[in-house]
Amino acid sequence: MRILFFGDIFGRPGRKGIAAKVKALREELDLDLIIANGENASQGIGLSIKNAQQLLDYGIDLLTSGNHIWKFSNIYSFLKTSDRIVRPANLPEGTRGRGWTSFEVRGEVPVAVINLQGRVFMDPVECPFKCADKILQEIDPEIKVILVDFHAEATSEKQSLGRYLDGRVSAMLGTHTHVQTNDARIFENGTGYITDAGMCGPVESCLGLSPNPVIKRFVTGLPQKWKVAGGPIELQGVLLEIDEETGRTVSIETYNSGRMTV
Ligand SMILES: [Fe+2]
Ligand SMILES: [Fe+2]
């Protein structure tokens, strides 16, 4: 199974890039499944119901998310009703939406996708390690292809969860830091891994935002008005090939669309 996983889609420029490219990519790269982290797709912080539906219409099969998913309250009902979006699973019981989901690819191969959030340098959440254990017990053993979007800040926490899950999931893909890392690999028990898949958004930016207010914030310590950066964008992510029988990753490499004007 060939899967393309996009890192955080950032604001209108990121959405436009997805709109322009995704349907053609499905053919070009012979993809069976396209997943994207959508937590920053609306104004660079959050995801509105309108933009979530647009991204699915553009050809994304499933949206994952993270700490910013709660910004626009109109997404709450979508989180509750749609089976094409997940939010971090390790949130208090009763939180809206689902932390993992399963579905069939090409109408025949079952796949599960889990979303987890880190807790190092981030708001407190429940233990992502224990939460992953619990979910893996719930998932039907018939499902061999299992993907994890670990939305976390610290590289140590990401590598540790990746190794903790080695051999138990097909791949663990990091998101949240918006900077694609150069460590895509397959661990010894067959789990594909990358610390961060990157971002779909403006290249000349601070994590997607216009640099000047961000710099001013660091220099003065005072709150600033953020602005989504302009200029060229890149779509970044990872391309995976997974053995459908065993669930092991056969190959994993970074994906970069190259600079695009949208
Ligand atoms: Fe993000
Ligand atoms: Fe985030």
The yes-or-no answer on residue 68 being catalytic is yes
Tens of pLDDT, residues 187-203: 999 999 999 999 999 99
pLDDT tens string 81-113: 999 999 999 999 999 999 999 999 999 999 999
Written as six digits, the tokens of 96 are 């809206």
pLDDT at 181: 98
Instruction: Kindly state whether residue 262 falls inside one of the protein's structural domains.
Output: no
Structure tokens at 125: 């959440």
**How many domains does the chain fold into?**
1
The 3-state DSSP class for residue 175 equals: strand
Active-site residue identified among 21, 68, 158, 248: 68
Known binding residue 8? Answer is yes
Distance 83 CA to ligand 2 centre (A): 21
Q: Identify which of 51, 100, 93 has the alpha carbon closest to the alpha carbon of residue 75.
A: 51
Ligand nearest to C-alpha 66: 2
Q: Is residue 261 part of a domain?
A: no
Distance from CA of residue 39 to its chain's centroid? 8
Output the domain CATH number for residue 7: 3.60.21.10
Q: What is the mean pLDDT of the chain?
A: 98
Please report whether residue 82 resides in a domain.
yes
Domain-embedded: residue 195: yes
Confidence band of 25 (pLDDT split at 50, 70, 90):
very high
Q: Report if residue 234 sits inside a domain.
A: yes
Over residues 24-39, mean pLDDT: 98
Residue 117 covered by a domain: yes
Q: Residue 128 has what DSSP assignment? A: H
Q: What is the pLDDT of residues 243-261, one digit of tens each?
A: 999 999 999 999 999 999 9
Q: Is 178 marked as binding a ligand?
A: yes
What's the confidence (pLDDT) of residue 76? 97
Helix (H, G, I), strand (E, B) or coil at 23: helix
Query: Is residue 149 in a domain?
Result: yes
pLDDT tens figures, 145-199: 999 999 999 999 999 999 999 999 999 999 999 999 999 999 999 999 999 999 9
State which residues form the domain around 79: 2-256
Beta 109-117 vs 100-105: how paired, if at all? antiparallel
154 found inside a domain:
yes
Q: What are the Cα distances from residue 66, in Å, to 8, 48, 91, 171?
A: 9, 14, 11, 18
Q: What is the pLDDT of residue 108?
A: 95
For position 1, what pLDDT does the model report? 98
